[in-house]
Amino acid sequence: LCGLEFDTHGAVGAAFLDVSTGTFQVAQGSLEYIKTLIGTFAPKELVVRRDLHRSAAEQFPGIYISPIEEWAFVQEAAEERLKKQLGTSGLKGFGVDSYPLALCAAGALMVYLEQTEHAGLGNICSISRIEEGKFVWMDRFTVRNLEIFQSNSGRDGVSLVDVLDRCSSPMGSRLLRSWLAMPILDRAALNDRYDIVGYFAGNEELLQELRSLLEDVGDLERIVSRAATGKILPREMLQLRRSLEQMEPIKALCLEDAEAPAALARLLKGMKDCGRLLARIAATLSENPAVQIGKGEVIARGVSKELDSLRDISTGGKDYLLDLQNREAERTGIGSLKIGYNSVFGYYFEVRNSARDQVPPEWHRKQTLVNAERYITEELKAYEEKILGAEDAILALESQLYAGLVAEVQKGIRDIQTNCRVLSQLDVLQSFARQAVDRGYCRPVVDGGTVLDLKGARHPVIETLMPPGEEYVPNDIHMDSSATQIMILTGPNMSGKSALLRQTALIVLMAQAGSFVPATEARFGWFDKIFTRVGATDNISRGESTFMVEMLETAMIMHNLSARSLVLLDEIGRGTSTYDGMSIASALVEYIHKFGKGAKTLFATHYHELNDLEERFPRVHNYHIAVKEVGRDVLFLRKLEPGGVSHSFGIHVARMAGMPREIVETAEATLKALERREKNAMAVEKSGELHDDGSLQLSLFQLDDPTLSSLRASLEEADLNNMTPMQAFD
């Protein structure tokens, strides 16, 4: 659930609330920033002022919009609602008082929950702020292009979170998504995470036991939320007990080694003692409680003498009925006599028609069936009332005792939620450790410098999808803001240019989330922004073509560059004519070099003309992905090497894709003709003479050919009015 409030200057306040866990966060900033957060948190519903319903629906298509009245967003009233919910006299202690728009949105969410009669909000005990300057900036296009949470290949695709999520609890999985969505800039905090991951990775036995204990914790956050609403079922209460039972063993396990990192000790120090609550649950709840009250025993024996007595009556009464049945069968001589029960008549004796004459006169007939008759007696009726009364009393007393247990749990919700936060962090860190061990990841070094140095770098997702017997080809990448700021990356189609771009960004993202990374060595300063412009999409509903979308996204990147940005540009300019696209691509490189503040940029392109930029700009360097030609075949070596190349092998890829032979052959012939024209154009430029080799057939599609342009210029310079036919021929 997300609430939004806007001001007249373009600022937006947002409040994000997960009602199921009680997580309440607020943020404030530009519309683009809030859009990025909404893309990250993916709320199912947006709460906005009624007068903004239409514009919100246009800005956030695909998300359900719930409009409410404007008074719900008044700041003073919003703050009072929040203080009441959080049980405090002020909000300054939460650090959110400097976000007025966000507080308005948060207060509106509370109004909305009241209006929709959402009972039980006791799990909402705290509120925190999302500070823009503490996290790596990634716009929604980058999150999509890097396939962090969802593969662009559809349901069968694999995203980064699919690979990294080795968490043992749902709590850990949720926090992992948050860490990947908002990588941090604090180097001290990163090193704390690295220390813990390294410690777990180096202690296999500890790691396995920790994973097992965390599995038993389960989804403690959601269980606590159920308790807050008063709707926690007995089996969920049993899981709560099991979760709390893991607290001390986890703490003891992690700290039993004197060499455990200080960061781990600091993290565990934040855990609260829930021993008294655990003892209360263990003493009150049955070892194997029924699914719900009234379906079996829920409260343990020994908790209430009255309850135990009633249970004895209930269970002993049924034994008494069996004894009564045997006694009456012997007294009357009716060997087939049975005692039954239904909701209409209660308990009864059932006698077959063949023994009807043996029925004593004091029995009262209540029902006649085809083959039998049913009777009651005074003794049977009296004991029925005693048994049924006991069962009703058991239900009432168990309900009362269970409600008291739930109330006790509700008092401890804050402490349990604190422990949930610690345990979820432990779970993510052990997940990073498990992945690091299994995939051979290394600890990154974030040194605060301006160098990005990756050795043996691999793509974390693609390497897990390699066929048996094949290994991902690692590559080294070295970038320096003062030397190699921009890498122009050329190479054939399918050679791995896009994978190289993405793996660089994913390694940086993983490192700044606190994970080890797929490389043999990784060292860099830190990045505050990651931008990507890859792939080709359009937005037909808004009248935006593929090229327009490309230019909009690229413009946004250019306007937001910083000295510590990492920029990935893939095939910029291919959505328009060749010369237009090449001109834009060249201008982008020049702009980033001159005005990009040192932003490290990887630019993959098929415009081999961009290789000339290396000679013009000192911080631009050419690289290519190597291939090897074997006859008419091409071997993709996947290795990054210095220098640019001019061959894209597009026709070879078309042949591999199964394109009809006639099309491939025609394409090859056309390519040869175009290459001859280019050579002729270069000859004209060098000698000023035009040599006709028979390939200058005019084409409607080549009016901007350099050779034809030169010919046109010569004709325009000629003085046709004063020229004789012989002069024109010459």
Distances in Å between the Cα of 596 and the Cα atoms of 97, 314, 485, 521, 558 are 35, 82, 10, 27, 8
Q: What is the DSSP letter of 182?
A: S
| Angstrom distance (rounded) from CA 163 to CA 496 | 20
Residue 672 has a CB neighbour count (10 Å cut-off) of 11
Instruction: State residue 556's pLDDT score.
Output: 85
Is 114 part of any domain?
yes
Q: Mean pLDDT throughout 651-667?
A: 76
501 vs 308, residue with greater confidence = 501
Instruction: State residue 539's pLDDT score.
Output: 44
Instruction: State the total domains in the chain.
Output: 4
| Angstrom distance (rounded) from CA 166 to CA 660 | 45
Which range, 288-292, 665-669, 720-724, has the best average confidence (pLDDT)? 288-292
Residue 11 has a CB neighbour count (10 Å cut-off) of 18
411 pLDDT more than 70: yes
Instruction: State residue 588's pLDDT score.
Output: 92
Residues 40 and 112 in one domain: yes
87 pLDDT more than 70: yes
Residues 97 and 61 in one domain: yes
Nearest to 354 by CA among 336, 341, 342: 336
Distances in Å between the Cα of 277 and the Cα atoms of 51, 172, 280, 282, 397 are 48, 23, 5, 9, 21
Q: Mean pLDDT throughout 226-245?
A: 91
We report the CATH number of the domain holding residue 122 as: 3.30.420.110
Cα dihedral sign, 149-153-154-158:
negative
Length of the chain: 730
Residues 107 and 25 in one domain: yes
580 vs 219, residue with greater confidence = 219
The answer to whether the CB of 356 falls within 8 A of the CB of 347 is no
631 pLDDT more than 70: no
Residues 627 and 680 in one domain: no
Residues 572 and 515 in one domain: yes
We report the CATH number of the domain holding residue 580 as: 3.40.50.300
Residues 450 and 562 in one domain: yes
We report the CATH number of the domain holding residue 320 as: 1.10.1420.10
| Angstrom distance (rounded) from CA 661 to CA 482 | 49
Helix 234-245 × helix 275-284 angle, to 10°: 140
| Angstrom distance (rounded) from CA 207 to CA 254 | 9
Is 700 part of any domain?
yes
Residue 235 has a CB neighbour count (10 Å cut-off) of 15
Single out the residue in 102, 130, 158 at which a domain terminates.
130
The answer to whether the CB of 421 falls within 8 A of the CB of 271 is no
Residues 666 and 641 in one domain: no
pLDDT per residue as tens digits for the range 30-39: 888 888 888 8
Single-letter amino acid code for the residue at 343: S
225 pLDDT more than 70: yes
The answer to whether the CB of 650 falls within 8 A of the CB of 493 is yes
Is 80 part of any domain?
yes
Instruction: State residue 704's pLDDT score.
Output: 55
| Angstrom distance (rounded) from CA 202 to CA 516 | 13
Q: Mean pLDDT throughout 460-465?
A: 93
Assign 164 a pLDDT band (cuts: 50, 70, 90).
very high
| Angstrom distance (rounded) from CA 167 to CA 175 | 10
Is 283 part of any domain?
no
541 vs 99, residue with greater confidence = 99
545 pLDDT more than 70: no
Is 228 part of any domain?
no
What residues contact 478, with CB distance under 8 A and at least 6 apart?
Answer: 451, 452, 453, 454, 484
Domain holding 361, by residue range, is: 311-406
Reported as type and span, the H/E element at residue 65 is strand 64-68
Distance of CA 703 to the CA centre of its chain: 50
298 vs 676, residue with greater confidence = 298
Residues 611 and 478 in one domain: yes
| % of the chain surpassing 90 pLDDT | 42
689 vs 652, residue with greater confidence = 652
Single out the residue in 130, 151, 177 at which a domain terminates.
130
Single-letter amino acid code for the residue at 14: A
Nearest to 210 by CA among 265, 243, 251, 174: 251
Is 554 part of any domain?
yes
| Angstrom distance (rounded) from CA 16 to CA 23 | 8
pTM exceeding the 0.85 threshold for the entire prediction: no
Instruction: State residue 698's pLDDT score.
Output: 45
Residues 493 and 399 in one domain: no
Looking at every residue in the chain, the average pLDDT score rounds to 86
Weakest-pLDDT range from 121-135, 231-245, 552-566, 672-686: 672-686
- Strand 486-490 and strand 600-604: pairing? parallel
| Angstrom distance (rounded) from CA 529 to CA 567 | 8
Cα dihedral sign, 656-660-666-667:
negative
| Angstrom distance (rounded) from CA 312 to CA 318 | 10
Single out the residue in 130, 160, 190 at which a domain terminates.
130
The answer to whether the CB of 448 falls within 8 A of the CB of 271 is no
The answer to whether the CB of 120 falls within 8 A of the CB of 231 is yes
What residues contact 513, with CB distance under 8 A and at least 6 apart?
Answer: 179, 180, 183, 184
φ, ψ at 376 (rounded to 5°):
-125, 160
Residues 546 and 689 in one domain: no
Q: Which two tokens stand for residue 27?
A: 């943020």
- Beta strands across the sheet bearing 565-570: 137-138, 529-533, 565-570, 600-604, 486-490, 620-630, 633-642
The answer to whether the CB of 267 falls within 8 A of the CB of 424 is no
pLDDT per residue as tens digits for the range 555-603: 888 988 999 999 999 888 777 767 788 888 899 999 999 988 889 999 9
Is 696 part of any domain?
yes
HSE-CB of 343 using CA atoms within 13 angstroms: 0
Residues 581 and 665 in one domain: no
Is 182 part of any domain?
no
Instruction: State residue 120's pLDDT score.
Output: 67
Residues 589 and 497 in one domain: yes
